[in-house]
Amino acid sequence: MVAILEELDPPSDRRVALRVTNDALRQLRSGHPWLFDRSITSIKNAGKAGDLAVVFDGERRFAAIGLYDPRSPIRVRILHVGRPTLIDGDWLADRLAEAVDRRRSLFGTSRGIDEADGGPVDENDGLPGLVVDWYSGSAVVKLYTAAWIPWLPSLVTGLSVATQRSDHQEGPGVMERVVLRLGRVVAGSAPPGIVDGVVLVGPTLDGPVEFFENGLPFTADIAHGHKTGHFLDQRDNRSLVGRLVGEAVGSGGRHRVLDVFSCTGGFAAHAAAAGATELTLVDVSERALELARHHVEGAVGSRPQRSGTVNGRPEVVTVAGDAFDVMADLARAGRQFDTVVVDPPSFANRANHVDRALAAYHRSARLAALLVAPHGLLFHASCSARVTEASFLNQIRRGIADANREASVLTVTGHPVDHPIGFVHGTYLKAVALRMTS
């Protein structure tokens, strides 16, 4: 363990004591993990980030306990509700082991080591403000609150045990490295040495790490890339798109794919491995498109040579620019594709952004529908937690109708096994696959 962890101030032995509104108390008891500052009616022994805060009810009885963050509007991240319990390193280790155990299906040897990359810990595992993703021996710890910083030594120790074995079941393997990632707000208030991308345990990084997703090779910049380097939550959906493309390709023939908001090309890579002959990738980041092309090339190497390709390889075109503008340009040019994938970033980071997000989904669905060839596939995703599945699907249907197209729903998907749902705002991912019928 590096020296910076040994130098961190531990949480105080004194507990912050809080009284809250009746509405907040009801929400905490129903499983909501966030206590907002505006819900606090009284406070005693105000502490520093990472101190434990105890919530009392109107009769001064224990109601909940969590991590205190005096600089965040989410003042307490709730760890436990109900009877009093001791929160310490052993408690954290047990909770981490439980989180890994929920993902047992990802780590079984019968599925092979290629399947062992995913998210061992998610905010919905009862550890709000904390995410841990796993990349073939590298654990990437991302903090969305400074309250977790004093707990980093216990967190690293618990992860080392939990990832090797959980509940006497196989874990993802030996933890060779721990990389720390910080949310934007956390980075601005972290102590010296606690910086985004620092390696807490193990060898230093000399570039992206290699890992496998659904048997396909990928790389991730786990120190500086978006989120933790790769969007692992879309792993199952990328497999779904690959399967649908493979079914459409059949024994051979031309298949054109448009991957919008392609980022580092996860969907395009799976489509390429399934036999797509032409791929057009659209993203605002030229660096992301470079990685996407690399990932597509790696995926192609895993498939047999097919007809319609050049030297067994598909034609790959990358377009850097605003996704909406590019889709509009392609539609005006009369371009169409056999499969169109739209996987945008969150359009609603705040509650007052919901209407704007719904309008964006309507627009993206309309433009995408114009670009799908007859009987082709449209896959559209949303990662906006504040947009419900029903509202999202309604905008997709409206957008398709406004493009004067008709489509049938093949499937609607949600969270994969390593991104469980623990409370209402934890439900963020939803996606729909449709087949154009006219």
Q: Give me 6's structure tokens.
A: 């040994």
Residues with Cβ within 8 Å of 281's Cβ and at least 6 positions away in sequence, in order, are 259, 262, 265, 268, 289, 292, 293, 296, 316, 317, 318, 319
pLDDT tens-digit readout, 65-76? 999 999 999 999
For strand 138-143 and strand 34-36, is the pairing parallel, antiparallel, or unpaired?
A: unpaired
Q: What is the 3-state secondary structure (H, E, C) of 268-321?
A: HHHHHHHCCCEEEEEECCHHHHHHHHHHHHHHHCCCCCCCCCECCECEEEEEEC
Q: Measured between alpha carbons, how far is 369 from 48 in angstroms, rounded to an integer?
A: 52
Q: Quick one: what percent of the chain has pLDDT higher than 70?
A: 89
Q: What is the model's pLDDT at position 113?
A: 35
How far, in Å, CA of 328 to CA of 351, rounded?
28
Compute the distance between CA of residue 28 and CA of residue 80 in angstroms, rounded to an integer.
9
Range in 59-63, 240-244, 293-297, 426-430 with the lowest mean pLDDT: 426-430
pLDDT digits (tens, 9 = 90+) for 56-113: 998 999 999 999 999 999 999 999 999 999 999 999 999 999 888 888 777 654 333 3
pLDDT value for 115: 41
Give the Cα-Cα-Cα angle 248, 257, 436 (nearest 5 degrees).
Answer: 60
| 243 Cβ contact list (under 8 Å, min separation 6) | 274
Q: What is the pLDDT of residues 207-231, one digit of tens each?
A: 999 999 999 999 999 999 988 999 9
**What pLDDT, on the 0 to 100 scale, is given for residue 171?**
56
- C-alpha triplet 253, 240, 174: angle, nearest 5°: 120
Structure tokens at 392: 């999202």
Confidence of residue 167 (pLDDT cuts 50, 70, 90): very low
| pLDDT at residue 309 is higher than 60 | no
Task: Note the pLDDT tens digit of each residue in 357-402.
Answer: 999 999 999 999 999 999 999 999 999 888 999 999 999 999 999 9
The DSSP annotation for 86-155 comes to --SHHHHHHHHHHHHHHTHHHH-GGG-GGG--EEEE-GGGT-TTEEEEEETTEEEEEESSGGGGGGHHHH
Give me the helices (H) in 163-198, please.
184-187
Q: What are the chain's domains? A: 8-81 (2.30.130.10), 89-205 (3.30.750.80), 232-436 (3.40.50.150)
Q: Are strands 256-260 and 118-121 parallel, antiparallel or unpaired?
A: unpaired
Q: How many CB atoms lie within 10 A of CB 146?
A: 26
Counted residue by residue, the chain has a size of 438
At 110 the pLDDT is 35
Extract the runs of DSSP E, i.e. beta strands, from 10-96: 16-20, 34-36, 40-44, 52-56, 62-68, 74-81
pLDDT confidence of residue 118? 63
The model carries a pTM of: 0.88
Q: Rounded mean pLDDT of the chain? A: 89
Distance between CA atoms of 122 and 95, rounded to whole angstroms?
11
Q: For 133-142, 182-191, 273-282, 419-428, which range has the lowest pLDDT when averaged over its residues? A: 419-428
Using DSSP bridges, classify how beta strands 177-182 and 278-283 pair: parallel, antiparallel or unpaired: unpaired
Give the rounded distance of the alpha carbon of 171 from its chain centre. Answer: 21
Whole-number Å distance between alpha carbons of 246 and 251: 9
Residue 251 clears pLDDT 70, i.e. is over it:
no
**pLDDT score, position 129:** 94
- Cα separation, 257 vs 269, whole angstroms: 11
Give me the helix-helix angle, 354-371 and 323-332, nearest 10°.
Answer: 30
pLDDT-based confidence at 170, cuts 50/70/90? low
Task: Give per-residue pLDDT as tens, 323-363.
Answer: 999 999 999 999 999 999 999 998 877 777 799 999 999 99
User: Model confidence at 131, in pLDDT bands (50, 70, 90)?
Assistant: very high
Nearest partner of 257 among 368, 410, 408, judged by Cα:
368
Highest-scoring range by mean pLDDT, 144-158, 169-183, 344-358:
144-158
More confident residue, 12 or 303: 12
Residue 305 pLDDT: 53
End-to-end CA distance of the chain: 60
For residue 325, the one-letter residue type is D
Give 17-64 pLDDT, tens digit per residue: 999 999 999 999 999 999 999 999 999 998 999 999 999 998 999 999
